[in-house]
């Protein structure tokens, strides 16, 4: 099988420094992960990576130190575990969200559900440049997430 590195990057498999090393970017929807998701991510990181993860500023997870020859097995395992691969390049990225009314005592919007709906409709679509979306129920939170008003 011939691998197209540009296509791999679109699906969140990104070249690292060092021969044959990559990181696998996983996405969350609105920063939400269950305890089971965290356990599964830890298992995958130990099995295919360096046994560690990096939490990104966009509420995602990266597994560094993945070998190219493990790509197909990693992708299959991620699917079985219901984990979501990320995206890179000129496309709509993971949807970031504040906790919203489910957690915040002053929250007035179900930001988690909004993030799910936006993710279902738009995640991964190719666009002219990378496009990032954040969902929040207060202006102060949007500014803290790096957004504009």
- Residues 107-132: tens digit of each pLDDT: 888 999 999 999 999 999 999 999 99
Looking at the chain, the whole-number percentage of residues with pLDDT higher than 70 is: 91
The per-residue pLDDT for 133 is 94
Averaged confidence pLDDT in the chain? 90
Question: What mean pLDDT comes out for the span 66-88?
Answer: 95
Q: Which residues pair with 96 in a beta bridge?
A: 134
The per-residue pLDDT for 2 is 67
The per-residue pLDDT for 140 is 58
Between CA 41 and CA 37 the distance in angstroms is 6
Question: What mean pLDDT comes out for the span 83-105?
Answer: 91
Between CA 105 and CA 28 the distance in angstroms is 23
| 38 Cβ contact partners less than 8 Å away, ≥ 6 residues apart | none
Neighbours of 71 (CB within 10 A): 18
Between CA 99 and CA 76 the distance in angstroms is 30
| 42 Cβ contact partners less than 8 Å away, ≥ 6 residues apart | 53
The CA distances from residue 7 to 61, 72, 73, 87, 89, in Å, are 20, 13, 17, 10, 10
The per-residue pLDDT for 5 is 81
Residue 75 has pLDDT above 70, yes or no: yes
10 vs 75 pLDDT, higher one: 75
Question: What mean pLDDT comes out for the span 53-68?
Answer: 96
The CA distances from residue 59 to 5, 9, 23, 69, 133, in Å, are 24, 18, 16, 27, 12
- The dotted CATH code for 5-85 is 3.30.70.3340
Domain with CATH 3.30.70.3340 in the chain: 5-85
């Amino acid at each position: 099988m011939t691998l197209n590195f540009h296509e791999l990057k679109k699906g969140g498999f990104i070249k690292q420094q060092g021969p044959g090393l990559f990181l696998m970017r996983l996405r969350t929807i609105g920063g939400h992960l269950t305890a089971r998701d965290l356990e599964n991510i830890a298992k995958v990181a130990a099995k295919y990576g360096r046994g560690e993860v990096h939490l990104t500023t966009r509420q995602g997870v990266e597994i560094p130190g993945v070998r190219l020859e493990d790509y197909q097995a990693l992708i299959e395992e991620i699917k079985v575990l219901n984990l979501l691969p990320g995206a890179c390049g000129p496309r709509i990225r993971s949807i970031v969200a504040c906790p919203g009314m489910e957690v915040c005592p002053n929250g007035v919007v179900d930001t988690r559900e909004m993030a799910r709906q936006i993710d279902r409709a738009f995640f991964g679509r190719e666009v002219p440049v990378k496009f990032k979306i954040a969902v929040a129920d207060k202006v102060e939170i949007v500014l803290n997430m790096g957004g504009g008003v």
